[in-house]
Amino acid sequence: MVSNFWNIPGIQSKQSLDVLAQSLGSICIYNEQGQVVYVNRSFLELVRVDAQAINFFNYFPATSPRRLAWLKLWEKALSGKETTFLLKGQDPGQVVQCSLQFGSDARLMFLTAKPTHRNQAIEQVTQAYETLLSVLFNHSGVAIALMDVAHAPAQCNQNLHDLLGTTAHENIVLEQFIHPDDVGIDAELKQKLINGSIHSYTVEQRLVTKSNDVVWVNASVSLIERPSDSHRSQKQIAVLFKDVTETKKIYDALIRTEGKWKTFALNSPHLFIQTSRTGQIIYASPAVERTLGFRGEELLDQPIADLIHPNDLNEFKRALRQWAIGAESIPRGVESQWKTQSGEWVYLYSQGQPFPLALNIDGIAMSGYNITDRKRLEAQLSAHNETGSGIKDLQNSHQRV
């Protein structure tokens, strides 16, 4: 295929271009807007479409979930990371393995492709998935549950069995351990997840253990797709739990007296910060130094917003305003990136409330705990979904994910 892309003296003949195209393998090159700059014959024969129909975002409305998933792949490649995924080939049993790489010097995106058999591709994706599950389930700091959308018994790691007081041989139906007062909101959010109206959610809820103790957890829930030998992957729900019972106890102590709140805060692994209603830091517990590296006195009178990543600042300020007035209309918790003294960023889940009027303190009591490890695990799950899900039916109805 003759193209102005190859504007190099001595190779403008069709024969020279054919030789070059054969040496490149199957390749399609895009500009930063996803429009084709060059595509060779090998690529067109592999995916069996016209050159005019191969632009990256042609087939999806701007609000389409598939377009959004595809856009994540594009943005990941733009950031400099090699991005791989699968396409469904035209021939029975054929799968096309693709790699998307961005050339920052030329400001061009390079999509290369090679055919393989479906079973071989599924085996590779399955091995990567099982490796990911092994990392998740053996992580020392997070309790994990994995279940299908029909709410059958969940696959759990030892951390979750320890939390619930169950043994590794027991079948866990997670819904049976959710506190009755929290069942409704959990069921509503899970249904939205299954329907595709949301991609994940985080919620604080209570679990009732086998010995009837109540534990508070921060639950991060995602929908993932498990590779399958059939033509459709198996949808599953992954839940990552963080025990936050201690934080709730400190909040209860806060309601009683300021002195008791500070006694708890001094010895807690979770960080506690007292601010004015406008966000000036009045007090920071010792855990702030362990988590962020700043000594408490270094932060006094500083705006707490200075610690928040710019991408999360608007949401954090909105939550701060809600905490200041004690609003209960939205969830009190917010996930955001906080700056450390070394200049790095850590993810914290934080929540706040005004001090009770009886204490005669005009300010906000905030608590937070580190969820960086959990966010990394979520990112690994998300990367798996982007690589192996939904993309295999690319050719159906002239749509591309």
- Domains recognised in the chain with CATH numbers: 14-121 (3.30.450.20), 138-242 (3.30.450.20), 247-372 (3.30.450.20)
Going by their DSSP bridges, the two strands 281-284 and 271-275 should be labelled as antiparallel
pTM of the full structure: 0.51
Six-digit token string for 142? 């997070």
Contact 96, 114 (CB under 8 A): yes
Cα 342 to Cα 360: distance, rounded to the nearest angstrom: 37
CA-based R_g, the chain, Å: 26
Using CB atoms within 10 Å of the CB of residue 348, give its burial: 0 to 12 exposed, 13 to 18 middle, 19+ buried: buried
Q: What is the pLDDT along the chain (401 residues), one digit of tens a residue?
A: 445 555 555 545 555 555 555 556 788 888 888 888 888 878 877 776 655 557 777 655 555 556 666 787 888 888 888 787 776 655 655 677 788 889 888 888 888 888 765 555 455 555 555 655 666 666 666 788 888 877 677 788 888 999 999 998 888 888 889 999 888 887 888 888 888 788 788 888 899 999 999 998 888 888 877 655 544 557 788 888 888 887 777 666 655 566 666 676 777 778 888 898 888 998 888 889 989 999 888 898 899 999 999 999 999 998 888 888 876 544 568 899 999 999 999 999 988 888 766 666 678 888 888 888 888 777 766 665 555 443 333 333 333 33
Residue whose token pair is 């002239």: 398
